[in-house]
Amino acid sequence: MLKTPILKIILFILLFPFVLQSQDYWQQEVNYTISVTLDDENHFLYANEEFEYINNSPDTLRELYIHLWPNAYKDRNSALAKQMYKNGNDELYYGKPENRGWIDSLDFKIDDRSVSYSLYEDQPDIALIQLKDPLIPGDRIHVSTPFRVKIPSGRISRLGHIDQSYQMTQWFPKPAVYDKNGWNPMPYLNQGEFYSEFGSFDVSITLPSNYVVGATGDLQTQSELQFLNELADHTLKKFPEIISGWKGLKGPKTPFPASSEKMKTIRYTQKDVHDFAWFSDKRYLVLKGEVELPKTRKLVTSWAMFVPQNAKLWQNAIEYLNDGTYYYSKWNGNYPYEQVTAVDGTISAGGGMEYPNVTVIGNSSSKNELEIVIVHEVGHNWFYGILGSNERVHGWMDEGINTLNEVRYIQNKYPGNKRLSDMVLNGRFHMNDLDYHDLGDFMYRLIQKTGYDQPIETHSKEFSPANYGIVMYQKTGLVFHYLKDYLGDKEFDRIMHTYFDQWKFKHPQPEDLRVLFEKETGKDLSWFFTDLIQTTSHVDYKIQNVKEADDSQGAKIKVKNVGQVNGPIEINVFDLSGKMVESSWLEPGERETTLETNRNSISKVIIDDGKDIPELSRQNNTWRSKALFKKWEPLKLEFFIGDNESDRTNVFWTPSIAGNAYDKLMLGIAFHNLGLPPNGFQYLIAPHYSFGGKRISGISELSYTLLPKTRAKMIKIGTSIKSFANSNYSESYYIGISPYVRFALGSRNKHSSINQQLIIKGLWRDDVYAGVTKSNFGFKGIYTLNGGNPDFKWGVESTVTYYQDYDGIERVFRGEIEGDLSFKYLRKMEKWISARFYYGQNFLFDSPYYLNDHMQLAMSGARGYQDLFLEEYNFERNASGGQFWAQQRNDNHGGFYSTSDFGTTQYWLTSLNVKADIPYLPNFIKLFSNHGLFYDNYMWNGYKLRYMYNAGLSFEFGGIFGVYFPLVRSENMGNLFDSYGREIRFTLKFNVFDKGINFANIFN
């Protein structure tokens, strides 16, 4: 076949330039000397910086981009402020001046000549200097400047102070990277990391002498080393007392001792790093250890620094540091520096943060969690520190590959761990044998099933926050685990060591990693580097059939690729005793591949028995020779809910009790498969015995989720079935069957702050009254669009409905449009005001006037019998007039929060509903006011345009339950206080299926 050679040629042509470039690789060099003094009374840094910039590129440089990242904290114009605001954090956007930070007093000199700078693209944290003399290839310049930093609050992001605990990161002027793609100026961001030039640092820090400092580099000041050693001895000796001293002390943190009058200057140097960070705190306790690296047996010193209140948690921190350093060295290449440090901090960006040699760790809830965070951050010394990829653009190259190593660390050190099970109520709900790998696996499957996942290769600023965490970290870890499983640990480790040796202290790009892996394996890995890294395409294989030879000498196993990635797949064969006897990988190939095995007496065949491949559906992975349905996994009935196991058909059940006015008490059982990770085909069947109707009532919901490659994020096809009694007479009930298709619209690969959804549904509905059946059917289309920011939300929904009875005597064709706006009017108190605008019109309305109430539009919202598509739950669906349950109304149509029958029309109505939180009162109490206009249809009144209004107080709980007390209203709605109890309206919103949970709101 021609396909393969042509692909290979194209691939070669595509990769050829990169092969050349990797041989011609060059990078710039920056060598810094900085002296800095900490003013811990006013939270300022005063510093002098000098750096030598060496142009190793083949290009003549005429300008220099310098990051002034403390200015990211200056005001709301920085990219940081905008990004945090967009992601729902307005700490900086509306921040108090005293909490903000900046850098000033700059006076750049290049080779002793003053130069001026401008802001690049008006960004406060990127300076652009036009060089007076062009910097030719091979030449160097000497740049110097004084600077002053106002240290921002540590609650904003990574640079900051919490009281007198200092986290000095991204604190000095620093050139942007110049690489084969040109200059890479970038503003500081919370979501999105770094890219810096390698070089050396010589940093002297002056501060009150009782501060303990953890920093990048080797400490050159002997007196300081002695100070730390003494602290470490003291901590070790007094550990039991320190722990018991803090036991039971809650609330107040360890107090800060006064700063010593005496100042000290301590000096650190380091080469082959691209950043320098330091952390200082007067309260730190210190632990010291050392780790022997594999093979070379080189010793590396480890330091842990933490506040006394966290001493118990940090007791084994040295072990975590040492083990992390050891395993990462073993799997990737030896740690090339002399020391590794972890400090206890209160940072605002994530659980921990990495810098060369030193990592800062946020609050952990347990020793397990602390170990994972320390190991992860220490691991960044490799994937960020030593292998300095452009994290801002290709975040997966550090976070994702690091996650692979982190998961591998836990799997290795704690074989048989049940980390995920332990997290879910200690394994209750049948989440039994789920380990640390399964945790990432579940998270990825969950977001993938919503269609809101993005490709691994996505720019940090384009990622939704959920995808940044789940896709960039977890999915990358999972796909590299897949690659490792396919290549085998030994081969994978060999290639990672080659990657380390070739690219240490350099800037590897994704194509460099790919070229290396393809060269070393001799394989075309486009299924990995293109499909899995660059797209949201999913992996899914199924066993088509297994044909055992007549003489039972061997079998042919036919496997079909039903996914979107043409990758390798592992097939596991088991003998009659249940032992795995064969494990083979099918190479990427045709849609259908056959594995021939010479094993006889096969009991079962499983695709990826170890669950090492991030496959979309594991429900089609098993074949069993002795089973009636050979491709069905054995049934497992479990109580309530649990995980969908890959080798079982899990059915969850729960007894259920329900009730309404006609069915009275209902007792039943709900069966479903809504476990985790979610299945493609989902069902919930809940039959109930109705003591009122003396029949079976209940609901069923069946759906299938499709993840198309383009055009829609997700398509869900399903059917809802509902049947309940509808009056107190015998043989009176309704049954509604509503097939639907729901599209989450938008481009699969793009994050947008605007969500779009389209639902198309049909309805067949039989209403039976005392044995007489009336059939109806209809169609409905609903299109919704919504978006917003932390202060403002908007939404538009337009609906068309057609509904008729079987004989066509009653027909209605309705168009509706609804707009919702809400904005926060008091930011600190979180007080919102919201307005809903509605217009509905029946374009076609055929019905005898005496029985058409159910097809009319209602200013007070539809009652049970006006809910044509059976979308809501009503306690007494057909309650009318003054009956108590007639006060239950749905939040639709005119939306008035009162129960007047005035304002019911067969023509059109329009309304405005306003709701506002009240300052100083809890937010479940709101003020409301409704205004409506409609065309009155009572002939004997003449056709008239009518206006009505009301206002009052409401109590709303979690969007499910609401009670509304009108206080004033227009006269035409009748006297409010004649029978006040009857005017109170309430809503109940239980229906999650028809409307669908809007995942966009959760994952965007």
Considering beta carbons, is residue 197 or 399 the nearer one to Zn ion? 399
- 246 Cβ contact list (under 8 Å, min separation 6): 254, 308, 309, 311, 312
Supply the minimum distance, in Å, between the C-beta of residue 375 and Zn ion: 11
Q: What does 485-553 look like in DSSP terms, one character per residue?
A: HHH-HHHHHHHHHHHHHHHTTB---HHHHHHHHHHHH-S--HIIIIIIHHS---B-EEEEEEEE-TTSS
Minimum CB separation of residue 402 from Zn ion in Å reads 5
At position 401, the amino acid (one-letter code) is I
- Alpha-carbon distance of 277 to 169, in angstroms, equals 5
Q: How far is CA 227 from the centre of its chain?
A: 44
Nearer to Zn ion, 399 or 643 (CB): 399
Q: Which stretch binds Zn ion (CB under 5 A): 150-158, 213-221, 392-400, 676-684?
A: 392-400
In the complex with Zn ion, the residue whose CB is nearer, 93 or 383, is 383
Q: Which is nearer to Zn ion, 399 or 872 (by Cβ)?
A: 399
CB of 380 to Zn ion, least distance (A): 6
CA distances from 62 to 59, 163, 395, 792, 972 (A): 9, 43, 30, 44, 78
Give Cα 116 distance to the centre of its chain: 43
Q: How far is the CB of 473 from Zn ion (least distance, A)?
A: 7
- In the complex, what is the shortest distance from the CB of residue 362 to Zn ion, in angstroms, rounded to a whole number? 12
DSSP labels for 563-627? SS----EEEEEEETTS-EEEEEEEPS-SSEEEEEE---SEEEEEESTT--S-BS--TT-EEETTS
Least distance from C-beta 464 to Zn ion, angstroms?
18
Binding residues among 237-266 for Zn ion as defined by CB under 5 A = none
Q: How far is the CB of 389 from Zn ion (least distance, A)?
A: 13
Residue number with CB closer to Zn ion (397 or 666): 397
Residue number with CB closer to Zn ion (275 or 399): 399
Residues 515/15, Cβ–Cβ less than 8 Å: yes
Cβ-based nearer residue to Zn ion, 193 or 645: 193
Q: Which is nearer to Zn ion, 381 or 727 (CB)?
A: 381
Place of tokens 């490659």: 709
Contact between 832 and 917 (Cβ < 8 Å) = yes
Q: Which of 399/663 has CB closer to Zn ion?
A: 399
Q: How far is the CB of 457 from Zn ion (least distance, A)?
A: 17
**How many whole angstroms separate alpha carbon 629 and alpha carbon 626?**
9
Nearer to Zn ion, 399 or 983 (CB): 399
- List 792's β-bridge partners, or say none: 789, 823
Q: Are 482 and 613 in contact (CB under 8 A)?
A: yes
Q: 3-state class of 47 per DSSP?
A: strand
**Which CB, 384 or 499, lies closer to Zn ion?**
384
Q: Report the residue closest to Zn ion, judged by CB.
A: 399
Nearest to 990, CA basis, from 899, 836, 870: 870
**What is the size of the binding site for Zn ion (CB under 5 A)?**
1
Rounded to 5°, the CA angle 158-160-162 comes to 115
Minimal distance in Å, beta carbon 384 to Zn ion? 8
Q: Which residue type is seen at 359? A: T
**DSSP-based three-state secondary structure for 724:** strand
Q: Tell me the sheet residues that pair with 836.
A: 820, 913
Shortest Å distance, C-beta 400 to Zn ion: 9
Strands (E), 790-865: 792-805, 811-826, 831-846, 857-858
Closest approach of Zn ion to the CB of residue 190, in Å: 13
The 3-class secondary structure across 844-905, one letter per residue, is EEECCHHHCHHHCEECCCCCHHHCCCCCCCCCCCCCCCCCHHHHECCCCCCCCCCCCCCCEE
Least distance between Zn ion and beta carbon 259 (Å): 33
Query: Smallest gap, in angstroms, from Cβ of residue 405 to Zn ion?
Result: 11
In the complex, least distance from residue 800 CB atom to Zn ion, rounded to whole angstroms = 49
Min dist CB 383 to Zn ion, Å, is 8
Question: Residue 352 Cβ, how far from Zn ion at the closest point, in Å?
Answer: 7
User: Which residue, 399 or 876, is less far from Zn ion as judged by CB?
Assistant: 399
Which residues, in sequence order, are CB contacts of 534 under 8 Å at separation 6+? 455, 456, 457
For Zn ion, the binding residues in 393-422 under the rule CB under 5 A are: 399
Nearer to Zn ion, 382 or 928 (CB): 382
Give φ, ψ of 815 to 5 degrees. Answer: -120, 140
The nearer residue to Zn ion, 397 or 565, going by C-beta atoms, is 397
Nearest CB to Zn ion, comparing residues 399 and 438: 399
Residue with Cβ nearer Zn ion (391 or 453): 391
| Closest by Cα among 981, 959, 887 to 661 | 887
- What's the rounded Cα separation, in Å, for the pair 286 and 367? 17
List CB contacts of 504: < 8 A, sequence separation 6 or more: 333, 336, 386, 387
Taking the complex as a whole, the smallest distance from the CB of residue 290 to Zn ion amounts, in Å, to 25
Encoded tokens for 590: 């045709």
Structure tokens at 801: 């409905």
Q: Rounded CA gap, 285 and 243, in Å? A: 12
Pull the structure tokens for residue 525: 């890995």
**Torsion sign across C-alpha atoms 968, 970, 976, 982:** negative
- Least Cβ distance, residue 461 to Zn ion (angstroms): 17
Per-state percent for the chain, helix, strand, coil, to nearest 5? 25, 40, 40
Which helix H or strand E contains 18, and what residues bound it?
helix 3-23
Scanning 391-399, 484-492, 615-623, 989-997 for contacts with Zn ion by CB under 5 A, the matching segment is 391-399
Site for Zn ion in 603-632 (CB under 5 A): none
- Which is closer to Zn ion, CB of 405 or CB of 705? 405
**DSSP assignment string, 200-224:** EEEEEEEEETT-EEEESSEE--HHH
Q: Is the dihedral of CA 496, 499, 505, 506 positive or negative?
A: negative
- Based on CB atoms, which residue is closest to Zn ion, 399 or 917? 399
Which residues of this protein are in contact with Zn ion, per CB under 5 A? 399
